[in-house]
A and B are shown apart, each in its own frame.
Chain A
Amino acid sequence: MQLPHERGPVSRHVIESLRSDRPGAAFFALGPDDVIGDEDVQLALWTIYELHYRGFHGVDDDREWDLGLLTLRREIESRFESELRAVTRELVTGVPQHGDLGQQLLDLVAADDGPSLAAFLQRRASIEQLRDFLRERSVQQLKESDPQSFVLPRLDGRAKAALAELQYDEYGGGRPERLHATLYADALSAAGLDATYGAYIDHVTGVSLTLCNVVSMFGLNRRLRGASMGHLAAFEASSSVPSRKIAGGLERVGLPPAVAAYFHEHVEADAVHEHVASSDICGTMVAEDPGLRDDVLFGAAACLHLDALSGAELLERWTTGLEKAS
């Protein structure tokens, strides 16, 4: 993958540093604005994270451990996490201290009243809006499940076995053509879009980058393993029904079956995964280490909060008719 195009001073700093052969990016002080949804800061963070996944053409693999970039990453992450904790505090503290955590996670998702992107995609979206949706999600879905794989060595026993079981399904159950990321690439191609990893990095919004980065932040910091698994539980539990609706919308506008196939797969897979993630993974983790409870709930609430932000952003773009041609 090529390095992305800069979107402001922070991403420029990161990208210029990676273009240079000299390791050791200089110190960079962030401005005072919120980082959630900020396309410049989120692109900078995404670029630093990508060094841990696939890297960039022409950039030395060893830059993954560039101390200057790691220092900037920690500064962005610190702000990102604080902002997320602040906006989710009410939701997290509203969950009773006692009770079945797996069920509490499912109830948290069921009670969510964020804007229904799926209902719009099912009934009203044009073919171009559905393609726009596929593009916006492509940055995260083409590395679907990879961020959670970083958590596997940090778990043990029943929670580890359950995460491995879930990931094995996400990774196609031994069939490379059934890798969920590959199914997403097939959907993009069938919709006439570019299925290359990172193809739309310069196109997607700051909120879409934020959605992608939150799972990397949770997955790459062992301290946040509870949040990573809580996010996974909420993500899976808010996927099965919406996937059915989105598949219906894709079929309504006449896109080829391979596009809807990705979403049909998630109707069934995520009906399983939500229970595995909420009870077998999160329930077990918290039973063994009650100190992880608040972080699990934080991760779930962060998922719901950012999904709602993204839903509102895309619905506004599509319903005000101001969508830029692509």
Chain B
Amino acid sequence: MSDVVVRQCPGGPLLVRGAETVLDDDGNVHEVTRPVVAVCACGKSSRKPWCDSTHKSIPSTR
């Protein structure tokens, strides 16, 4: 893998392509096992660092 590409989905997660690992808030290393992953951007996911769509259940700030 060379370039890592990150895209912010409006009101949703960060879509990350090309990463091999993602670090969470506590510095733990999470292996990337998908071609593209959704990283939590709202801070409310119960599966951080991954998005679990919890942002859909909280009031939108868009």
Contacts and interface: CB of A to CB of B under 8 A. Distances in A.
B13, B37, B38, B57 — which one has the most chain A CB atoms within 10 A of its CB? B38
Nearest to B60: A110
Contacts of A240: 52-53, 56
A275 interface: yes
Interface in A266-281: 267-272, 275-276, 279
Interface string A138-173: 000000000000000000000000000100110001
B56 A173 contact: no
Contacts of B38: 268, 271-272, 275
A267 B52 contact: yes
Contacts of A268: 38, 47, 50-52
Interface residues of B, number: 18
Contact of B35 (A110, A168, A244): A168
Given A241-B57, A279-B9, A269 B34 contact: yes
A110 B62 CA distance: 14
A105 to B, nearest CB: 12
Nearest to A240: B53
Interface in B1-45: 9-10, 12-13, 15, 33-38
A279 B10 CA distance: 11
Nearest to A103: B10
A244 B15 CA distance: 20
A110 B12 CA distance: 13
A110, A268, A270 — which one has the most chain B CB atoms within 10 A of its CB? A268
Nearest to B57: A241
Given A168-B35, A272-B36, A241 B13 contact: no
Q: Is the interface of A mostly helix, strand, loop or mixed?
A: helix
Nearest to A242: B53
A293 B29 CA distance: 41
B15 A275 contact: yes
Given A272-B15, A275-B13, A173 B53 contact: no
Interface in A234-278: 240-241, 244, 267-272, 275-276
Contacts of A169: 34-36
Given A271-B53, A272-B15, A173 B33 contact: yes
A165 B47 CA distance: 22
Nearest to B55: A271
Contacts of B57: 241
Contacts of B13: 271-272, 275
The 6 A-B residue pairs with the shortest CB-CB distance in the complex, in nearest-first order: A240-B53, A271-B51, A272-B38, A271-B38, A165-B35, A271-B53
Interface of A: 103, 110, 165, 168-169, 173, 240-241, 244, 267-272, 275-276, 279
Given A241-B56, A268-B51, 13 more contacts: A168-B35, A173-B35, A240-B52, A244-B52, A270-B53, A271-B13, A272-B15, A272-B36, A272-B37, A272-B51, A275-B9, A275-B12, A279-B9
